[in-house]
Amino acid sequence: MHSMKLLVTGGMGFIGSNFIRYILEKHPDWEVINIDKLGYGSNPANLKDLEDDPRYTFVKGDVADYELVKELVRKVDGVVHLAAESHVDRSISSPEIFLHSNVIGTYTLLESIRRENPEVRFVHVSTDEVYGDILKGSFTENDRLMPSSPYSATKAASDMLVLGWTRTYNLNASITRCTNNYGPYQFPEKLIPKTIIRASLGLKIPIYGTGKNVRDWLYVEDHVRAIELVLLKGESREIYNISAGEEKTNLEVVKIILRLMGKGEELIELVEDRPGHDLRYSLDSWKITRDLKWRPKYTFDEGIKKTIDWYLKNEWWWKPLVDERILHPTPWKLKW
């Protein structure tokens, strides 16, 4: 396989940092430029081990900065777009920043590619939340978009921009939509790391509503392998759902974590539900399995054990990130 120079946006975040580390381990002759504005969900500690790697370059900057982005786009063969505000609770109280990053940022990137390097391979990483919730069955790539939060609305808008620019300007772009990710380096405000951290500190574990909301869980390493496959083998103007088919209610997830950590279920505390909380997400990932031969490597039981182990061994990473706001039981009520 020929060497590749990649621009990764949002590479100091959870999925981005896992993707960069995976790519540089697997492809010794590839180079990666990482642009990240170092917002709240980004953490330079995620890639501290790569600081001296000559194949890796970090650029602090906003993906919505056209002058900066156009210079970077000129230098690369591929772009993987992960930069996004992604926390639903924050989008409820502070939607403006989601519009800036997720919509204007994607527009700026597309315009830079169109004007400066229209041959570049582009993968736009999106989310299952653009479909809304589904009570039975699973969404396919052909289903309509029905976002139910400011976050998912901005991601759906960015998907539409990618499809529109790709068709109008004949760009070489694909979209991926994944289910809920978990694994090392996930910001502590998300359900799984928040549960592990609060349990390790002997604190109550808040669960929204009844805890019956269902999510389809995907270990982050399986996700980054899928992104790599789409980058190398995906068809332009195609959308690929990525799911491991590991459906669990939030209550089940928390109970599994507590059991594996040797903690009692009396730590569980049901709290007020957030507005517009989707009941169930589920994706059909037959297309990426059929066309690109992707399959998940980890079951939820395997992935969650690896994840708990990582957080318990890496307090140095999460302790500086944790405060009362991050671990708040109902963060959607806070003004961020």
**Where are the domains positioned within the chain?**
4-181+218-242, 188-215+246-278+299-333
pLDDT average, residue stretch 13-26: 98
Amino acid (one-letter) located at 154: T
Whether 246 is catalytic is no
Range of lowest pLDDT (164-173, 301-310, 321-330): 321-330
Mean pLDDT across the chain, nearest whole number?
A: 95
- Dist. CA 203–CA 327, nearest whole Å: 10
User: Which candidate in 31, 85, 89, 129 is catalytic?
Assistant: 129
Domain 4-181+218-242 top-level CATH class: alpha beta
The whole-number average pLDDT for the span 39-48 is 94
Q: Which segment, 85-94, 174-183, 202-211, is predicted with the most confidence on average?
A: 174-183
CA 96 vs. chain centroid, Å, equals 20
Residues comprising the chain, all counted: 336
Q: Three-state SS for 176?
A: strand
277 pLDDT tier (thresholds 50, 70, 90): confident
Split at pLDDT 50, 70, 90, the class of 336 is very low
Question: Which fold, 188-215+246-278+299-333?
Answer: UDP-galactose 4-epimerase; domain 1 (3.90.25)
Mean pLDDT within 217-241: 99
State the CB neighbour count (10 A cutoff) for residue 61.
17
For residues 241-276, b (16+ Cβ closer than 10 Å) or e, as one string?
bbbbbbbbbbbebbbbbbebeebeeebbeeeeebee
86 marked among binding-site residues: yes
- Do 4-181+218-242 and 188-215+246-278+299-333 have matching folds? no
Asked about 129 being catalytic, the answer comes back as: yes
Give the pLDDT of residue 205: 95
Look at residue 164 in the predicted model and tell me its pLDDT: 98
Q: What is the pLDDT of residue 335?
A: 63
Q: What confidence score (pLDDT) does residue 111 get?
A: 99
Q: Which residue has the higher pLDDT, 117 or 326?
A: 117
The pTM of the full predicted model, rounded to 2 decimals, is 0.95
Residue of 89, 128, 216, 222 marked catalytic? 128
Per-residue pLDDT, averaged over 236-259, amounts to 98
DSSP 50: G
Respond yes or no: is residue 216 known to be catalytic: no
Residue 271: what residue type?
A: V
Query: What does R_g of the chain's alpha carbons equal in angstroms?
Result: 19
Work out the pLDDT band at 1, boundaries 50, 70, 90. Answer: low
Residues 151, 185, 208, 298: which is the catalytic one? 151
**Mean pLDDT, residues 128-148:** 95
Ranking 8-17, 83-92, 206-215 by mean pLDDT, the lowest is 83-92
Q: Check whether 278 has a pLDDT greater than 80.
A: no
Q: What angle do CA 216, 218, 220 make, to 5 degrees?
A: 155
CB proximity list for 97: less than 8 A, separation 6 or greater: 85, 90
Residues 97-124 have a mean pLDDT of 98
Does 36 belong to an annotated binding site?
Answer: yes
- In this prediction, residues 111-137 reach a mean pLDDT of 97
**End-to-end alpha-carbon separation of the chain, Å?**
45
Was 230 annotated as part of a binding site?
Answer: no
